[in-house]
Structure 1
Amino acid sequence: MISALVRPLKFALFTGKAEPPPLATRRTRVSAPRWLAPFTTLDWVRLAELTLAILLYATASSDLWQRLYDKQMTSPPALPFQLALVSLSLPVALRDRWPLGAWRTALVTLPAYVYIDRMIDGFPDQGMTYSWPLVLMYLLVLYTVASRNSEAVSIAVWAVSMLYLLVFNSNVVPVGAAVLAVPLVLGYNVRARRRASAKLVEESQLKVVAEGAQAVLEERARIARELHDVVAHHMSVIAIQAEAVPLKAAGDAKQLEEGLAVIRSLSLDAIAQLRQVLGVLRDADGRKETTPQPDLEGIDALVANARAAGLAVLFRRSPQVEEVPQAVGLSAYRIVQESLSNVMRHAPGATVSLEVAREGDELVVRVANGPGARPAESSAGAGHGLVGMRERAVLLGGTLEAGPIADGFEVVARLPLEAA
């Protein structure tokens, strides 16, 4: 308990250093004239404080000399007189850079002002005279101390100030307590508002960073979906073709050559699409890939590849779907691509019914397959295709339903055209 009380006093009187001043804005800083060689910029706030300090010095000097003349007194002691003038001006000049240092300077030099003041008035019992330079100086210093230090330090400064007031003039303690509290409360409010603003700025910066990280994650997920669609489809077709070509050729070199040509064409198509997806990652200048994304026109190639891989695909497309938004066309293409790849993996040789039609304001994609002509060899690597298809549909505001039907499996995607 005692340590909690002593620590702020020690900080305020001896060891403490105030928080740095707020950064100067363009409104308060201007370029200095060429003849001010040591300075590159001028801070209007500090220039105003220096001017005020000079004004307080001159005003206090004039006031004290006038009082000496009225009392018909000789010249006062030089050192106490100059300290008295410094006590009213120097703290104002120091308060922006060193608030606690300015306050300590006032504490050290104020006794000289009290001595000169009482010497002029003949050391009256009612205490010292409170001139406006003295009041203004001390209130400004207290405000700066409170705006740049913690609440505990401000309370310690107020307590020491009250002790000074009690020693030099106990008659005005009640009024002085209220007057000295005003700049401290104002400084506390300014400091609280400044800290709240800094916290808001920090939170805004963290939000920007978080949004950037979220955008990166979303972009990675999008690229992962694209890679999954491209690799899964083409690799499935290539694997099935590589297995089927030797069986179909049965030693016929011409058929074997044609089958290998189909595999080569599929491989080149896969490489081209992989380059298209990964191009944006390798572009250091942030340029976007200009190669067109797949759309509904590319479904014909998917059907041809699926038929070449041994699927019996019945494809129906209504004439109303010739022109659809790019995002809808790309999502429909990927859904068909993934659905055919799943049929190749899980029901090789099956009969597939594929329909792309427009129903009202929606593009509807239906892919249904029957049982496979032969058992699937392996389902390794499966499990994420349906999630990716459903996410594509949801991102466009649509729906995707997938599940078993009699002797097979069906995927139905509804993609809104208006929202896209």
Structure 2
Amino acid sequence: MFSAVVRPFALALFQGDADPPPPRSRWLRFRLPRWQPLAGVLDLVRVADILMALLLFGSSYSQLVNWNNVAKLPVNDPLLYLTAAALSVPVALRDRWPLGAWRMTMVLLPVVLWVTQTVGTSNPPYSLGLAVMYPLVTYSVAARCDRQITVGVWVLSLLAAWIVDSHSFYLVAIMVTVALLFGYNVRVRRNATARLVEEEQRTRLAEGAQAVLEERARIARELHDVVAHHMSVIAIQAEAVPLKAAGDPARLEAGLAEIRSLSLEAIAELRQVLGVLRDQDGRTDTAPQPGLDRLDELVSNARAAGLTVLVALPESLGALPPAVGLSAYRIVQESLSNAMRHSPGATVTITVEPDGGALRLRVANGGGTAPGGAEGAGHGLVGMRERAALLGGTLEAGPVDGGGFQVIATLPIAVAVTEETT
């Protein structure tokens, strides 16, 4: 019980520490050019505190000198400088070390009050500088420190005000309490905003992970359909070949060769983990899967939607493995959809070229001629990356200089070709 009562005062005076400064708006913190003599990051909040501290030092020292000239018991100039510094330096330090600034104030407060009461004529012995400095420092403490520290600072401030002058206690108590409550409210709102941002980040990460799982589930369904299709054909062929051969070794050999070809094709599709898609209702699409041979359909649809599409294709791509052709088609399809959604009326360039044992795709668009739609969840990019990764390839996506966006994918084809020709 005793430790719980003493802990706020111990934290406020000795053990506690303040939170780091909150992130500044880009209008309050920016980097100066390197050619400037004060090159670096300029924090306007701290600059304002330093300017206010200089103003408080000058006004407090001037007032103390005027009082000292007419005082019956004048004090030495070093004490005047120390008092003026005690009324100004904590303001300059309150953003970087708010609790340290308050502790400095409490340590020098007896000197400030003694000098003010000795040379001044005011009653109670509070100068204007103290009335400005102390609420600013206590506000910073409440805005950056734990609630227990704030309670300790509040109680110690009220106790000091009662000891110094009981007649002005209620006025001082109101000023200190308002400053601390205001700072505490800012801290609560700032922490709530930070927790909301963290929760949004966790939600986005969870949505991204869910998108990866959904894309992998779709690919798994593709795999299931491909394997089921090929295995069914192989089973039918294995049953029909002996009947068709009727003891003819040539027909039997041709039938077995066809079964072997189907088996190698199934193995290639299995390793690429791509195939026939199911729709949202789970129905199987038995139509041939699209490849780059159907690129003209995508381009026509994009042009009908208002995009200007330029296509650069090599003279001959050769026969691409079905998995590579399907992934290339889907990547171009998603890239064009993103361009239509976020950059209406833009010019899109599609480049397809062989790159050693891989197929290289680049889809880049400039800025649109009309405002784009709202930012999506990014699941399309996740799906494209998953398709490229499962083929052993890579995909890079991001903005380009001058506005616009580009997607660059590299899809290996050498492994698939080797498997199919084995």
Please classify the TM superposition score into its range, dividing by the shorter chain length. Answer: 0.5 to 0.7
Matched, 1:187 2:183: yes
Write the deviation string for residues 37-70 of structure 1: whole angstroms up to 9, x where unpaired. Answer: 565121111111011101100000111111223x
Write the deviation string for residues 122-165 of structure 1: whole angstroms up to 9, x where unpaired. Answer: 7x9x541x332211100000000000112221111011011111
Write the deviation string for residues 300-334 of structure 1: whole angstroms up to 9, x where unpaired. Answer: xxxxxxxxxxxxxxxxxxxxxxxxx9xxxxxxxxx
Q: Which residue of 2 aligns with 1:144?
A: 140
Matched, 1:77 2:68: no
Query: For the Cα contact (< 8 Å) 2:11–2:148, is it kept in 1?
Result: no
For 1:35 and 1:163, the matched residues in 2 are separated by 52
For 2:260 and 2:154, the matched residues in 1 are separated by 87
For 2:170 and 2:118, the matched residues in 1 are separated by 26
Distance change (3 Å), C-alpha of 1:64 and 1:237? same
For 1:110 and 1:297, the matched residues in 2 are separated by 86
Q: Which residue of 2 aligns with 1:245?
A: 241
Distance change (3 Å), C-alpha of 1:262 and 1:33? closer
For 1:5 and 1:36, the matched residues in 2 are separated by 52
**In the TM superposition, what is the alpha-carbon distance from 1:82 to its structure 2 partner?**
2.2
**In the TM superposition, what is the alpha-carbon distance from 1:32 to its structure 2 partner?**
3.4
For 1:154 and 1:135, the matched residues in 2 are separated by 19
For 1:145 and 1:277, the matched residues in 2 are separated by 59
**In the TM superposition, what is the alpha-carbon distance from 1:77 to its structure 2 partner?**
2.2
For 1:201 and 1:212, the matched residues in 2 are separated by 16
**In the TM superposition, what is the alpha-carbon distance from 1:26 to its structure 2 partner?**
1.9
Amino acid at match of 1:195: N
- What secondary structure, in the 3-state scheme, does the structure 1 residue paired with 2:253 have? helix
Amino acid at match of 2:163: V
Query: For the Cα contact (< 8 Å) 2:53–2:91, is it kept in 1?
Result: yes
Query: For the Cα contact (< 8 Å) 1:81–1:112, is it kept in 2?
Result: no
Amino acid at match of 1:252: D
Distance change (3 Å), C-alpha of 1:118 and 1:47? same
Matched, 1:256 2:256: no
**In the TM superposition, what is the alpha-carbon distance from 1:261 to its structure 2 partner?**
3.6
Q: Which residue of 2 aligns with 1:221?
A: 217
For 1:209 and 1:15, the matched residues in 2 are separated by 37
Q: Which residue of 2 aligns with 1:48?
A: 48
Question: Which of 230, 237, 242 matches 1:234?
Answer: 230
Amino acid at match of 1:155: V
Matched, 1:211 2:207: yes
Query: For the Cα contact (< 8 Å) 1:86–1:109, is it kept in 2?
Result: no
Amino acid at match of 2:230: H
**In the TM superposition, what is the alpha-carbon distance from 1:8 to its structure 2 partner?**
1.4
For 2:274 and 2:210, the matched residues in 1 are separated by 20
- The answer to which structure, 1 or 2, has the higher relative contact order (CA under 8 A, 6+ apart) is 2
Distance change (3 Å), C-alpha of 1:232 and 1:172? same
For 1:112 and 1:215, the matched residues in 2 are separated by 65
Amino acid at match of 2:197: V
Structure 2 alignment gaps of length 5 or more: 276-283, 290-300, 302-422
Distance change (3 Å), C-alpha of 1:131 and 1:74? closer
Q: Which residue of 2 aligns with 1:87?
A: 86
Distance change (3 Å), C-alpha of 1:229 and 1:54? same
Query: For the Cα contact (< 8 Å) 2:143–2:183, is it kept in 1?
Result: yes
Q: Which residue of 2 aligns with 1:114?
A: 113
Specify the structure having the higher radius of gyration (Cα). Answer: 1
Query: For the Cα contact (< 8 Å) 1:91–1:141, is it kept in 2?
Result: yes
- What secondary structure, in the 3-state scheme, does the structure 2 residue paired with 1:171 have? coil
Query: For the Cα contact (< 8 Å) 2:19–2:144, is it kept in 1?
Result: yes
Write the deviation string for residues 261-298 of structure 1: whole angstroms up to 9, x where unpaired. Answer: 4313433543454466449xxxxxxxxxxxxxx96555
Matched, 1:267 2:266: no
Q: Which residue of 2 aligns with 1:135?
A: 131
**In the TM superposition, what is the alpha-carbon distance from 1:240 to its structure 2 partner?**
3.8
Query: For the Cα contact (< 8 Å) 2:87–2:129, is it kept in 1?
Result: yes
Query: For the Cα contact (< 8 Å) 1:29–1:42, is it kept in 2?
Result: yes
1:317-356 correspondence runs (5 A):
none
Q: Which residue of 2 aligns with 1:31?
A: 31
Distance change (3 Å), C-alpha of 1:131 and 1:121? closer
For 1:257 and 1:105, the matched residues in 2 are separated by 97
Amino acid at match of 2:189: R
Q: Which moved more, 1:228-237 or 1:261-270?
A: 261-270
**In the TM superposition, what is the alpha-carbon distance from 1:236 to its structure 2 partner?**
2.8
Q: Which residue of 2 aligns with 1:103?
A: 102
Structure 1 alignment gaps of length 5 or more: 280-293, 300-324, 326-420
Amino acid at match of 2:252: L
Amino acid at match of 1:83: L
Cα-Cα RMSD: 2.6
Write the deviation string for residues 146-196 of structure 1: whole angstroms up to 9, x where unpaired. Answer: 001122211110110111111111111122212110011111111011101
1:365-376 correspondence runs (5 A):
none
For 1:144 and 1:241, the matched residues in 2 are separated by 82
- What secondary structure, in the 3-state scheme, does the structure 1 residue paired with 2:21 have? coil
For 1:29 and 1:74, the matched residues in 2 are separated by 47
Distance change (3 Å), C-alpha of 1:298 and 1:98? closer
